[in-house]
Structure 1
Amino acid sequence: MSTSAQRFEILLVPRHVKDRGELPSPEAAIRSGIVTATGQTGNSGYPRFVGDGFEADIDPVTRTVEAVLLDGSELDYGLVAIVSERRV
């Protein structure tokens, strides 16, 4: 059985909010969603997670979003997807 997380909450935040040096709260997110592991590996080489309009490759060790699509499209300039610290 894998010890890697099977679900994460992704927060979509403006880059300037992330660049403040503190982890943005869910309240600062423009959009959020819960993603679940698909059992597949994405093009980035990390596990693929999908849900709530997000399709993301996430490093489960560092909790870093390595690649992301939102509603099938790349993010607009100035937006960043991060994994919430909140456990789901």
Structure 2
Amino acid sequence: MTTESQRFTVLLVPEYVENKDTASAQDVAVRSAVVEATGETGETGYPRYAGDGIVADIDPRTRTVEALLVDGAELDYGLSALVAS
């Protein structure tokens, strides 16, 4: 049995936002997506999640986005990806 989460909400937020707690991140997110486990492991060694045009390698223990593609492309400069609570 796995204890890894099977679903996360990924928020794309401007990097310049101060105090990136989850509440403020949700308010300023330019895009969000619910991603689900694909059963694959990404190149980073972490589980791969996909959904709504986003493919992400996420460390389920720390809830850190380790790699990300948005609509098949790398994340634009000035944006960062966070996992919502």
Both proteins in one fold, TM over 0.5: yes
Q: TM-score, normalised by structure 2?
A: 0.93
The alignment covers a number of residue pairs equal to 83
User: Can you give the 5+ residue segments of structure 2 that lack an aligned partner in the other structure?
Assistant: none
1:65 maps to 65
User: Can you give the 5+ residue segments of structure 1 that lack an aligned partner in the other structure?
Assistant: none
Which SS does the other structure have where 1:26 is aligned?
Answer: helix
Q: Distance in 1 between matches of 2:27 and 2:51?
A: 19
Across the aligned residues of Structure 1 and Structure 2, the Cα RMSD in angstroms comes to 0.9
Structure 1 ranges of 4+ moved more than 6 A: none
Q: Distance in 1 between matches of 2:10 and 2:45?
A: 19
1:6 maps to 6
Q: Distance in 2 between matches of 1:70 and 1:30?
A: 12
Q: TM-score, normalised by structure 1?
A: 0.90
Structure (1 or 2) with the greater strand fraction: 2
Which SS does the other structure have where 1:43 is aligned?
Answer: coil
